[in-house]
Each structure stands twice: as structure tokens, then as C-alpha cells.
Structure 1
Amino acid sequence: MTFQVKFHQLRAFVEVAKQGSIRGASRVLNLSQPALTKSIKELEEGIAAQLFIRRSKGVTLTECGESFYQHASLILEELRSAQDDIRQRQGQQAGQINIGMGASIARLLMPAVIKRFHQQHPQVKVR
């Protein structure tokens, strides 16, 4: 049977790796240290690999942990990107984008591009 990695386990793993400690990650995620420790332990057991080396001053990634971190970070970033895309399509996300270019291109090309962009992203200001 294949182990199913859970979102909270990925999030916990990535934050512990970033912070270099369970304590630091627990503060950032607003979770208890035992809850984070349990998530990491379940993840390590599920994928049958040690991801961290525990030290008195925190944790460091193992070789497997380094590899898994690269993948887990990309997964979380893709999920954030998908959520942002949905919010933008629903007109819920606003922001500003600044574009720099030469005057001739700005006059010829950009009006149509900006119009089309505004149709897709009405809450985003273009400067």
C-alpha cells in the first residue's frame, strides 16, 4: 500500500527545514512542538526515510531530506500558485504590476496588452 503524504506534513517538514528547528517552525505555524514532531515522525515513517538529523541546537536535513525538501517546496509553491490563480480568476486578488519599456513599444503594443490583461485580472493595477 502506498503512503499518502498529507498537506500538513509537507508544510510542517518545509517549515522545520527552513527554520532549522521544531521550536522555530512551531512559532511560525502557530502549532505545538509535539504536533509538529508527530507530523514529521509520521512523514518519515510513511516514506521510510530519515529526513532530519536531530541535534541539541535544532535539526539539519539528511541527504534524503535535502532531496525531499526540493520536491516538497515546489509542491507547496505550486499549490499557492494554483490558489492565487483561482482567486485572480474570481476577481478576488488585487495588486499592482509595474512594466518598464521603451516609449515606442509602450505606445504601439501595450494598450491592447493592458486591455486584455485588465479583462482577465480586473483588480490588478498596471503601471
Structure 2
Amino acid sequence: ITNIIFICKDLGNLMRTMGYMPTEMELIELSQNINMNLGGRVDFEDFVELMTPKLLDETAGMIGLKELKDAFKEFDLDGDGAITSDEMKHAMVKLLGKHTSKNEIDAVVKEADNNGDGTVDFEEFVKMMSQK
């Protein structure tokens, strides 16, 4: 129990730093998940994986689904539900006036592309936006 309380305190501090206000019950559930599934230790990648659903909920709640969909449409130029590297490059120029190298754009798409199809779908887009 001491270990769980220690993890709860640390997790709570990290989460509050990110602007997320966890309940005590959420912290206990996260700590139990960490102890059972992650051997009691959390590295940065584990923490991001644990927090992504919560941040998605927070982001969707703050920004709103309509705003996220509108933003996605600005990137998805052909409206097929997926953002390619070329579309990402065009959107960066259009929206930010920023010319970015193909390698940089490819790296962004690859990092956001969780399912490995070479494009960024809406769910991946939301995750990408919540990490910035």
C-alpha cells in the first residue's frame, strides 16, 4: 500500500502539471494498473500511453469535436479521411506559411501513424494534436 500511495502522489503531481486533475480513485486505478501490468515502474512512453486516452478526453472536451473535425478537414485536402505526407506539406504552407522539408513531414506522419498505413486518420490526428 505504501508503494501505491507513493506512485499515486508522483502520478498526481505529473498529471496536475499537465493540467489534468485526477480523482483519488483514478490515481489508485492507475497505480494498480502500473503494479500489475508494468512491474511497478513507469517510463516516459508508459506514462504517455496511460495518459493519452485521458488527454484525448480532455482535449475533445475543451476544443470540441466539431473544431477537431474542422481542423482535420483543413489537412485532409481530398476529403478521403486520411492525411498523406503531401497533404500535410500543403497544409503546413497554407495554414502556417511554413515550408517544411519532405523528410520532416514524413517523420511527423510516421510518428502520428499508429496503425502503419502511411497516413494520419482522424483518431491519430486527435492524438497528434493533444501531444503538442
Q: Say yes or no: TM over 0.5.
A: no
Q: Which has the higher strand share?
A: 1
- Greater Rg over alpha carbons, structure: 1
TM-score of the two chains, using structure 2 as the length reference: 0.28
The structure carrying a bigger helix percent of its residues is 2
